[in-house]
Amino acid sequence: MTILEKMPAEASQTCSATVRFSDGVERAFPVRNGQTILAAAKENDVRLVHQCLTGSCGTCVTRVESGEVRMNTARGTSLLPSEAAEGFRLTCTSFCDSDAVMHFDYPSSLLDEPGPERCTAVVGEASWVASNVVRLCLRLPDDAGLEFRSGQYVRVRVPGTEEWRSYSMASTMGDLPELVLLLRVLDAGVMSDYLRSRVKVGDEMELEGPFGLFYLRDSKAQQIMIAGGTGLAPMLGMLEDIRLKSGRKPKVLLSFGCASEDNLFYQDELETRAAWLPGLKVKVAVANPGPGYTGLVGNPVEVIGAADLVDPPSAVAYLCGPPPMIESARRHLEALGLDPENIHAEHFSASAA
Residues that bind ligand FES (CB under 6 A): 50-53, 55-60, 78, 90, 92
Question: At its nearest, how many Å lie between ligand FES and the CB of residue 91?
Answer: 6
Beta carbons within 8 Å of 154's beta carbon, 6+ residues apart? 146, 148, 166, 167, 169, 179, 181, 207, 208, 209, 210, 211
CA 87 to chain centre: 19
Residue pair 20/103 in contact (Cβ under 8 Å)? The answer is yes
CA distance 179 to 155: 12
Pick 53 or 176: Cβ nearer ligand FES: 53
For 209: left if phi > 0, alpha if psi spans -120 to 50, otherwise beta; the answer is left
Question: At its nearest, how many Å lie between ligand FES and the CB of residue 345?
Answer: 14
CA distance 60 to 211: 10
CA distance 82 to 328: 10
Pick 31 or 185: Cβ nearer ligand FES: 31
Question: At its nearest, how many Å lie between ligand FES and the CB of residue 118?
Answer: 17
CA distance 85 to 314: 23
Question: At its nearest, how many Å lie between ligand FES and the CB of residue 348?
Answer: 15
Pick 48 or 353: Cβ nearer ligand FES: 48
Pick 90 or 154: Cβ nearer ligand FES: 90
CA distance 334 to 350: 26
CA distance 344 to 315: 11
Question: At its nearest, how many Å lie between ligand FES and the CB of residue 23?
Answer: 21
Question: At its nearest, how many Å lie between ligand FES and the CB of residue 80?
Answer: 13
Q: How many residues does the chain have?
A: 353
Question: At its nearest, how many Å lie between ligand FES and the CB of residue 78?
Answer: 6
Pick 88 or 266: Cβ nearer ligand FES: 88
Per-residue burial over 83-106, b if 16 or more Cβ lie within 10 Å, else e, is beeeebbbbbbbbbeebbbbbbbe
Pick 156 or 277: Cβ nearer ligand FES: 156
Pick 213 or 309: Cβ nearer ligand FES: 213
End-to-end CA distance of the chain: 44
